[in-house]
Amino acid sequence: MSTTLVIVESPSKAKKIQGYLGSGYTVHASLGHIRDLPSTKAEIPEKYASEAWARLGVHVSDGFKPIYIVPAGKKKVVSELRALVKKADRVLLATDPDREGEAIAWHLVAALGLKSGFERMTFHEITKEAIQAAAQHTRPIDYALVGAQESRRIIDRLLGYGVSPLLWNSISSGLSAGRVQSAALAALAHREQARMAHVSAPYWRVTAQIGNQKLFTATVLGVSGQRLATPKDFDPATGQLKTDALVLTAEQAGQLVTFLKARPVTVLSTECVPYSTKSPAPFTTSTLQQEASKALKLSPKQSMDLAQKLYEGGHITYMRTDSPSLSDEATAAARAVAVAAFGQGAVPSNPRTYAAKAKNAQEAHEAIRPSGKVFKAPETTGLASDELALYDLIYRRTVASQMLDLTGMKTTLILKAGAVQLGAIGRTVTEPGFTRLYQDVQEGEGEESQVLPDVQQGAALPVRDAKAEEKKTPAPGRFTEASLVRALEKVGVGRPSTYASILSTLDHRGYTRVVKRQLTVTWLGLLVSAYLAQACADLVDVQFTAHMEAELDQIAEGALKREAYLTRFWSEGFARTIAQAPQRAPSVPVPRVPGAVVTVRAGEVILVMNGRTAPLPVDLVPDELTPEVAADLLVGKAPPKRPAAKRSTAPRKKSGKTSSTRATRKKSTT
DNA sequence: CAGTGAGCGAGCTTCCGCTTGACTT
């Protein structure tokens, strides 16, 4: 009897597919990649160990030939697969239908020593029909696509292992740089610098409570035809007014309140326009992380760990995806839930479809959704606590994606009291649509969602109360872990499988800290970012990945040769930049402390001011370095303690440590 | 003379992306 070995990436997928293909097929998982460039010196094969180029794992001057090894953790799965290959007379490489999957298929051919009798099998849906059809309609491996993946891998290696040593030289041993992490760090550093440079300006906001029965809030827009200043009217760098808007003094604000309380307002104009809010798309990895962060206060890592459990338990589809699209069966299931709960009118007559808008999306999987042809209601899953909460979020989001848009009317009233002009905005909902099931957690609600009375032009309304509040123009907000992921996804940096790990890399290197769910950058992070911006400007350019992707697409289409691209990119580009990079420690100014700079000496981050130096505490967030704190540090006083920001692990655990201590011990005993 | 400790030098670190368990905390 003949048997066919089918190799997929994930074990839960293997189990399901085995059921659909039945006897005659053996389905086994590769657990992702099975070969890679050597990551440490110890992994370099002996025959290359003495070669200088082997440090990179890529023979640059010999056509950028990579050295591939089977990492220690993957030896077991490779030998299992080898044994299965022996028993099979045909192998179907059913890894994911994307660039990385194509490469895994090719690595399997190489690592398992397949000579013939192998084919590539791809599918976008795990249903019995789709799988059986896919097993019949196989194709050869797409070597151009594999070449694009190898180019991506080589670029990331050359950049990462080429640039990181510059940091060891100029800043501190063990630091790292890379295409993805350095772009993420640059975004954080840029935002933190804008915050530090921000000069806030005070302004007054005057509001009145108006109405006969139900009161509504109106805001003073202007006086005698001159507009009242709002945050947009100030230059964030100086705090100075940059338009001709009116900034009230405290006294004027008080007078305005008294004036308003003393007389009714008349309606100058009313405007009523329809508005709508589109149903949200089903979850991708990135949007799941954002919503779980807002609604459930989970970090991206926590969300992914929970989603992994839900996936393994058969509750949801695959959780690492960049596609918001639903299969036909899932669309029908979502509509069925909506109709059962809210009636036939809850869904549009034509099912909604969603396509990826993220750059660089590969769409190998469908959206994250409840599994199966019929969605299990959350309360019938047997799940509890956080797992239940996350499943419930996914369930409601998926069903909501198939429901009607929210529609309503937006009303704007313009009012006047003497020379004072006021405005009020209100909304009424005519069709709640998807919001019956799924409410976005939104900021900036309040006044915008009030209901305004139905009044005519020229009508007079009593003012019940008025007040003036002193406000300050806000500094740009910090990223959260989830909002950084969203920002990276938007420019195509990182992949669903790496979003959570990018954050942990930044944390482990000491570049960032999470403080009260906000992602803050440390002084070390600012120094590294400043150094890279100066030494390797291309690396921190947000467009870098987008440009790379465009070239990789050309390689995949056969329009560009791998070696030509890598030569232009590396030998004629980054290799030169790296050779010319400065070897000095970077220093960055402290915006609010004139004459002070932060730099690094002997691997330690220090503050330098007036010829004196002081080490900076690791947990001192950059914008907490005020003139007072700086003065205290320089006379050796510790800054005021606050609850320590937790760091997940001790700095830099070294995997090579055991072998090096063993070597030292051996030497000392001889 | 044995035991201790300061000081020195050698060697290593590092990337991104695809998967789970096997480890600690």
As annotated, the residues of chain A forming the CATH 2.70.20.10 domain(s) are 202-278+409-472
Amino acid A524 CA to nucleotide B7 C1' distance, rounded Å: 29
Amino acid A532 CA to nucleotide B6 C1' distance, rounded Å: 37
Q: How far apart are CA A22 and CA A435, in angstroms?
A: 43
Taking the CA atoms of residue A537, residue A538, residue A542 and residue A543 in that order, the dihedral angle to the nearest 10 degrees is 150
Tens of pLDDT, residues A367-381: 999 999 999 999 999
- Overall average pLDDT of the A441-446 stretch: 55
Q: Is the CB of A661 under 7 A from strand B?
A: no
Higher pLDDT, A605 or A659: A605
CA–C1' nearest nucleotide, residue A164: B14
Give the model's pLDDT for residue A357.
Answer: 76
Q: How far apart are CA A295 and CA A482, in angstroms?
A: 12
Tens of pLDDT, residues A315-326: 999 999 999 999
Amino acid A173 CA to nucleotide B8 C1' distance, rounded Å: 18
**Structural Rg of chain A based on CA atoms:** 30
Higher pLDDT, A448 or A400: A400
Write down which residues 422-451 in A have CB closer than 7 A to strand B: none
Mean pLDDT over the full length of chain A:
92
Letter string b/e over residues A364-379, b meaning 16 or more CB atoms within 10 A of that residue's CB: bbbbbbbbeeebbebe
Tens of pLDDT, residues A34-89: 999 999 999 999 999 999 999 999 999 999 999 999 999 999 999 999 999 999 99
Name the residue closest to the C1' of B10 by its CA: A664
Q: Is the CB of A198 under 7 A from strand B?
A: no
Instruction: State both tokens at A434.
Output: 């998807």
Strand B positions within 7 A of protein Cβ atoms: 9, 11-21
- Distant-in-sequence, close-in-space partners of A550: CB < 8 Å, separation ≥ 6: none
Amino acid A661 CA to nucleotide B2 C1' distance, rounded Å: 25
Residue among A94, A101, A142, A90 nearest A121 (CA): A94
Give the model's pLDDT for residue A2.
Answer: 83
Amino acid A506 CA to nucleotide B8 C1' distance, rounded Å: 33
Write down which residues 200-229 in A have CB closer than 7 A to strand B: none
Amino acid A524 CA to nucleotide B10 C1' distance, rounded Å: 27
Q: Read off the pLDDT band of A618 (50, 70, 90).
A: confident
Q: A318 an active-site residue?
A: yes
Q: Is the CB of A35 under 7 A from strand B?
A: no
Write down which residues 503-532 in A have CB closer than 7 A to strand B: 505, 509
Given a cut of 90, whether residue A642 has pLDDT beyond it is no
As annotated, the residues of chain A forming the CATH 1.10.460.10 domain(s) are 150-196+478-634
Residue among A524, A578, A552, A538 nearest A162 (CA): A578
- Overall average pLDDT of the A250-257 stretch: 96
Q: Which amino acid is at A571?
A: S
Q: Is the CB of A351 under 7 A from strand B?
A: no
Do residues A519 and A190 touch, judged by C-beta distance below 8 A? no
Give the model's pLDDT for residue A86.
Answer: 96
- What single string gives the DSSP state of each residue in A95-139? --SSHHHHHHHHHHHHHTT--SSEEE---S--SHHHHHHHHHS-B
Q: Is the CB of A652 under 7 A from strand B?
A: yes
Given a cut of 90, whether residue A668 has pLDDT beyond it is no
CA–C1' nearest nucleotide, residue A169: B13
Residue with tokens 């090719």: A106
In the CATH scheme, what is the code of domain A202-278+409-472? 2.70.20.10
Give the model's pLDDT for residue A666.
Answer: 33
Give the model's pLDDT for residue A650.
Answer: 38
Q: Where are the beta strands (DSSP E) in A43-107?
A: 58-59, 65-66, 90-93
- Overall average pLDDT of the A195-204 stretch: 94
Q: Is the CB of A463 under 7 A from strand B?
A: no
Give the model's pLDDT for residue A215.
Answer: 93
Q: For the whole prediction, is pTM greater than 0.75?
A: yes
Instruction: State both tokens at A580.
Output: 């010319």
Q: How far apart are CA A100 and CA A146, in angstroms?
A: 8
Give the model's pLDDT for residue A655.
Answer: 37
Give the model's pLDDT for residue A358.
Answer: 67
Give the model's pLDDT for residue A344.
Answer: 95
Amino acid A158 CA to nucleotide B15 C1' distance, rounded Å: 7
Q: Is the CB of A16 under 7 A from strand B?
A: no
Tens of pLDDT, residues A117-150: 999 999 988 899 999 999 999 999 999 999 999 9
Write down which residues 53-72 in A have CB closer than 7 A to strand B: 55
- Overall average pLDDT of the A17-45 stretch: 96
Give me the helix-helix angle, A99-111 and A143-170, nearest 10°. Answer: 100
CA–C1' nearest nucleotide, residue A663: B11
Do residues A310 and A324 touch, judged by C-beta distance below 8 A? no
Give the model's pLDDT for residue A641.
Answer: 55
Q: How far apart are CA A523 and CA A376, in angstroms?
A: 48
Q: Do strands A4-8 and A25-29 pair parallel, antiparallel, or not at all (unpaired)?
A: parallel
In the CATH scheme, what is the code of domain A285-400? 1.10.290.10
Q: Is the CB of A366 under 7 A from strand B?
A: no
- Choosing from A161, A318, A531, A565, the catalytic residue is A318
Q: Read off the pLDDT band of A644 (50, 70, 90).
A: very low
Write down which residues 284-313 in A have CB closer than 7 A to strand B: 308, 312
Name the residue closest to the C1' of B11 by its CA: A660
Given a cut of 50, whether residue A669 has pLDDT beyond it is no
* A663 burial level (CB within 10 Å; 0-12, 13-18, 19+): exposed
Residue among A325, A449, A319 nearest A394 (CA): A319
Instruction: State both tokens at A494.
Output: 């990182």
Residue among A158, A180, A156, A172 nearest A528 (CA): A172
Is the CATH number of domain A150-196+478-634 1.10.1580.10? Answer: no
Amino acid A17 CA to nucleotide B1 C1' distance, rounded Å: 75
Report the Cα A634 to chain-centroid distance in Å.
38
- Distant-in-sequence, close-in-space partners of A657: CB < 8 Å, separation ≥ 6: none
Cα–Cα–Cα angle for A162, A167, A171, nearest 5°?
A: 170
- Overall average pLDDT of the A231-258 stretch: 95
Do residues A9 and A30 touch, judged by C-beta distance below 8 A? yes
Higher pLDDT, A653 or A565: A565
Amino acid A508 CA to nucleotide B11 C1' distance, rounded Å: 22
Q: Read off the pLDDT band of A442 (50, 70, 90).
A: low
Do residues A77 and A30 touch, judged by C-beta distance below 8 A? yes
Residue percentage of chain A with pLDDT more than 70: 94
CA–C1' nearest nucleotide, residue A495: B17
Q: Read off the pLDDT band of A648 (50, 70, 90).
A: very low
Tens of pLDDT, residues A488-541: 999 999 999 999 999 999 999 999 999 999 999 999 999 999 999 999 998 888
As annotated, the residues of chain A forming the CATH 1.10.290.10 domain(s) are 285-400
CA–C1' nearest nucleotide, residue A656: B12
Residue among A428, A427, A426, A431 nearest A406 (CA): A431
Give the model's pLDDT for residue A647.
Answer: 41
Tens of pLDDT, residues A92-119: 999 999 999 999 999 999 999 999 999 9
Amino acid A186 CA to nucleotide B15 C1' distance, rounded Å: 17
